[in-house]
Amino acid sequence: MPPFSSHPHQQQESMSTSQGQQSSHHPQHHHSNSGGSSGSSGNGPHVQFNSTAPSPMRQHQQQPYSSLVPPLSDTHYAQYHQLLGPSAFSSAQSSPYHSNHSTPYSSMPGSPTQEYQQLSGSPLGQGQKPKRRQVKNACVNCQKACKKCDEGRPCSRCIKYGLTDTCVDSTRKVRKKGIKRGPYKRRPPPSQLGSASVSTSPTMRHAAVPSGLAGYMSEPVTALSSPTQSHLLPLTTSSHNQPLDFGYDTSGGQGGYSFQSHRMESTYAPSYASYSGSNLYTSPYGMSSSSNGNNNNNGGNNNNNSTGTNSGHTSMP
């Protein structure tokens, strides 16, 4: 993971830069600081660099983009949305909305959270949080508001707020290629398989994971993961090793989109702590020699740019 992950929010424009690198996530968000502390928590693959920096936030308020992004009390909204049910999405245009949509929100049964339930039928144990599922591409309005969207194109949220005309998919950047990564962690020994079971049980690898997260560790594990490996794993092990049960089509993904940017946001200094070597994240990279001739070595790689990185939420000009 990147030393300090560029923050998901914001971005705002292709910085040009040599190769247009710039990895900030959020399409537009401005957040003003860097650090995330995500890391340890959960299985989140991206441990972010925690840079404290309380940041005065909440100060700058350029102009509410309310005009574009209408409210919609999520509670209410969620209820409605929940109607979609966990799997309702997946198929592109399956939004129940279109199919029947006559149901008044008020009559929607279920709780908001209900919608994110198990997707792959995994029981999701007692205390576990159900996995949150996301749409592949949120509409611009929801994206800006950081609110939940759905597959339907005028998405339900936009419909509710009468933004159907502006409800279009947000653009996505294409992941860059050629980024070096450094060696991966050891892999499980070839044969042995079934035998290992018990002690080496698949669960081993997740051992380090906080109980609460167990739910994420669904994967049945197709014979693999040796104990050795497990201890090597950072405790941020990724939940799924492989796209086994993905409901979506892998191919589809985000085909090349050209990025665009909507909004330039006013002044939001990048400010994120530069990552100096703390290995908060046990990645092979860090340990790798200093040389790192080729790989830019840890996240640093193309992020450097990051300029915009860190915050994202934008707030309309």
Residues in the chain, overall count: 317
Do residues 270 and 4 touch, judged by C-beta distance below 8 A?
A: no
* 285 lies in the binding site for DNA (CB under 7 A): yes
Taking CB under 5 A as the binding criterion, the range among 50-58, 64-72, 149-157, 181-189 that sits at the site for Zn ion is: 149-157
Which partner in DNA, Zn ion, none is near 164 (CB below 5 to 8 A by kind)? none
Binding mask 123-142 for Zn ion (x = CB under 5 A): ----------------x-xx
The count of residues interacting with DNA (CB under 7 A) is 126
Residue 41 vs 103, nearer CB to DNA: 41
Which partner in DNA, Zn ion, none is near 141 (CB below 5 to 8 A by kind)? Zn ion
Residue 99 vs 211, nearer CB to Zn ion: 99
Do residues 153 and 166 touch, judged by C-beta distance below 8 A?
A: no
Burial environment of residue 267 by CB neighbours within 10 A (0 to 12, 13 to 18, 19 or more)? exposed
Min dist CB 121 to DNA, Å, is: 14
Residue 167 vs 196, nearer CB to Zn ion: 167
* 239 lies in the binding site for DNA (CB under 7 A): yes
Residue 131 vs 153, nearer CB to DNA: 131
Residue 98 vs 295, nearer CB to DNA: 295
Which partner in DNA, Zn ion, none is near 109 (CB below 5 to 8 A by kind)? none
Min dist CB 149 to Zn ion, Å, is: 3
* 159 lies in the binding site for Zn ion (CB under 5 A): no
Which two tokens mark 292?
């790192």
Q: Which of residues 89-148 bind DNA (CB under 7 A)?
A: 113, 116, 119, 129, 131-138, 142-143, 145-148
CA-to-CA distance for 96 and 114, rounded, in angstroms?
Answer: 16
* 59 lies in the binding site for DNA (CB under 7 A): yes
Q: Which of residues 169-188 bind DNA (CB under 7 A)?
A: 170-188
Residue 25 vs 147, nearer CB to Zn ion: 147
* 214 lies in the binding site for Zn ion (CB under 5 A): no
* 72 lies in the binding site for Zn ion (CB under 5 A): no
* 267 lies in the binding site for DNA (CB under 7 A): no
**Chain residues in the site for Zn ion (CB under 5 A):** 139, 141-142, 149, 155, 157-158, 167
